[in-house]
Amino acid sequence: MKTIADITQPELAQALQRALDNKTKPVGSLGRLEALAQRIGLILGTLQPELREPQMLVCAADHGLAARGVSAYPSDVTWQMVENFLAGGAAVSVLARQHGIALNVVDCGVRHDFAARPGLIVRKIAPGTADALEGPAMSATQCAQAIANGREVVHGLPGNALLLGEMGIGNTSAASMLLARLAQLDVADVTGAGTGLDAAAVQRKIGILREVLARHADATAPLDALAAFGGFEIATLTGAVLQAAEERRVIVVDGFIASAAVLVAAQLQPHLLQRCVFAHHSGERGHALMLAHLKVEPLLDLGLRLGEGSGAALAWPLLHSACALLREMASFESAGVSRSEDVADPSRA
């Protein structure tokens, strides 16, 4: 695997900061938009960053563990929502359309056969993962193939920005177990309502996840944990993140499930986090702990817990604005505006 390099680049970082400080505004007055502009400039390696042809990648798959009642919805909702994405009726479909983001839906392992159509990419490993309480959700070979699929799909997409989304009934369980294992946290602290379980059902879910974690106590390495807990969509996103980072695309991370894929990828290649912008703080219980473990700060906090890439699409205009301000906002010199230090009498400033 190619090592993903550090992109800190002190000289470029300093040049970006000077450019931001020289805009017609008090220093730092655009707050976190300035840090966002600098990050995008570093990812793309330029003082004039421009985001081109953004691609939303929604990876979908079913989970064998869903049969044990870890979700409030039946597994059929996975394929039904894929149809909704492709028909343009889902939240992410609306938001992607609104913001000019290309929507790519990947069948990574849905228990349904879809008719071919634009926007659908079929990379089905199997019709859903196995029940992780009975054995690994995926074999090592299946896990490797899903990662390779994610890499191949991203390599074939245009543009310099990738937004991550997902769909899979039961995938908050997989994400919770990945976080618990890889961050060494108690699964009760990182497990929430998912699609809307009541308090009693959440406790049953936690009990099942504890059993699965115990069943796979030896799955401590990132890829071993990913194979043990699933799912195909998370593994495909892991490959997508690794490829996008190698290609120095801006990676916009959605919520809890997408962050779980980044968690796995970052344990393999820590510097890829430098290429990531975390869109929002999800309402799903474990996400705050996920973000804290990764030491990242999200752009938005709207109480979202839908997934699909909806939060990434909502955050997208902020990235556009940050780049536009860096490229187009006048400097003090070009606008003929006096700096604060140019004011002769400070009392008149």
* The token pair that represents 276 in the structure block: 């990531």
Q: Is 12 exposed, middle or buried (0-12, 13-18, 19+ CB in 10 A)?
A: middle
Question: Are the CB atoms for 143 and 227 separated by under 8 Å?
Answer: yes
What sign does the dihedral 297-160-81-107 (CA atoms) show? negative
Any residues with CB less than 8 A from the CB of 39 and at least 6 apart, and which?
Answer: 274, 277
Among positive and negative, which fits the CA dihedral 346, 347, 348, 349?
Answer: positive
Separation of first and last alpha carbons in the chain: 57
Determine the Cα–Cα distance for residues 341 and 349; give it in Å rounded to an integer.
10
Q: Compute CA distances 259 → 20, 40, 105, 207, 316, whole Å.
A: 29, 19, 18, 23, 17
Q: Is-contact 137 129, C-beta < 8 A?
A: yes
Q: Is 11 noted as a catalytic residue in this protein?
A: no
Q: Per the residue annotation, which of 34, 233, 246, 308 is the catalytic one?
A: 308
Alpha-carbon distance of 186 to 176, in angstroms, equals 10
CB 163 within 8 A of CB 313: yes
DSSP assignment of 147-167 equals HHHHHHHHHT--SSEEEEEEE
Closest CA to 123 of 142, 136, 138: 142
The residues annotated with a catalytic role in the active site are: 308
